[in-house]
Amino acid sequence: MEQKIPFTKMHGLGNCYIYLDGVTRKLSIPSFPELSKQVSDPYKGIGSDGLILILPSEQADVKMRIFNKDGSEAMNCGNGLRCVAKYAYEHQLVDSDTFFIETLSGNKQARVHVIDGNVEQVTVDMGEPILERGKIPVSGGNAEESVIREKLTVDDVDYSFTAVSMGNPHALFFVDEVDQAPIHRLGALLADTHPLFPNGVNVGFVQKRSDSEVNYRVWERGSGITQACGTGACASVVASILEERITRDVPVTVHLEGGDLTIEWRSDTNHVMMTGEAKTICEGVFFTNECL
């Protein structure tokens, strides 16, 4: 049966999602994975990297659920968290500039930076990175050890990667120049079906520019190449520190295709802090396909 669903389209550095407000209205949708595929389609839908639900929470102020373009559900989304924070604050779903957002990977504290009544920047405490092989997960090896500079050979070419989970899994490859990185080759091969990554992986390429700056490009699990990935930006800084390319406790500017994020992995808390923009693109009503 066709439904008419009010939506807001938002982006963080060009990583755009269709946001549904399930706090102020009830969402009676039989399949969110199917809806995510429909809205993400740029020709028969709206066009996006996926679907994000803003829901009531029993343990935090609001709850976020994120579905990739292919309908798969992810445990976390950095750009999504900043946009949910902006939406929640501007629609008075919360009554303070600092509040908690529940995700499938735990509660994250968000703080909105308000200028002239608008939320221009958002800082999110992304929590501790997960570094144990078995928890990321990466198959083989010792499940309790970290995965740093691990060798991987693809079609007779040797690569090395470091793996980090920010609630969702990331493999980081360091390159001299991100624009020359084998993003299509390794992204398509590793992201969704490679046996080394039983839950799939977000495939990132990192180029060090200075002691406080990196370039980062990503092929996301479930969505392909996107202009930015917040959890990936966090993982790129953690991996840079694990590989001893940059030092800890320095705010690092991560240059993504769609703009910049500031990321800091703090040694006092072991938490990763992310600061960056969140933008509203448009609002509207989506007419679902009948198969939903």
Ligand X SMILES: N[C@@H](CCC[C@H](N)C(=O)O)C(=O)O
Q: Rule CB under 6 A: say whether 221 interacts with ligand X.
A: yes
* Dist. CA 286–CA 269, nearest whole Å: 43
And the tokens for 284?
């509207």
Q: Of the two residues 226 and 240, which places its CB atom closer to ligand X in the complex? A: 226
**Residue 50 known to bind ligand:** no
| Dmax (CA) of the chain | 56
Among 21, 220, 264, 277, binds ligand X (CB under 6 A): 220
Clarify whether 77 is annotated catalytic.
yes
Going by the DSSP 8-state scheme, the letter that residue 231 receives in this structure is: H
Residues in contact with ligand X, counted by CB under 6 A, come to a total of 19
Closest to ligand X by CB, 48 vs 96, is 48
Selected binder of ligand X within 10, 46, 52, 74 (CB under 6 A): 74
Residue 202 annotated in ligand binding? yes
**251 cis-preceded (ω within 30 degrees of 0):** no
Q: What are the start-end ranges of the H helices in 191-289? A: 230-242
- Kindly state the smallest distance separating residue 54's Cβ from ligand X, in Å: 16
Tell me if 137 contacts ligand X by CB under 6 A. Answer: no
Q: Interface with ligand X includes 129 (CB under 6 A)?
A: no
110 DSSP β-pair partners: 99, 124
The answer to whether the CB of 216 falls within 8 A of the CB of 232 is yes
11 binds ligand X (CB under 6 A): no
Distance CA 137, CA 18 (A): 28
3-state helix, strand, coil in the chain (%, to 5): 15, 45, 40
- Catalytic residue flag (residue 229): yes
**CA pair distance 228, 276, nearest whole angstrom:** 11
What kind and span of H or E run contains 67?
Answer: strand 62-68
Mark residues 230-259: x for contact with ligand X by CB under 6 A, - for none: xxx---------------------------
Which residue number, 40 or 240, has a Cβ lying nearer to ligand X? 40
Residues between 173 and 202 that touch ligand X (CB under 6 A): 202
Q: One of 16, 77, 83, 234 is an active-site residue; which one?
A: 77
**Binding footprint of ligand X on the chain (CB under 6 A):** 15, 66, 68, 74, 77-80, 168, 202, 220-223, 226, 229-232
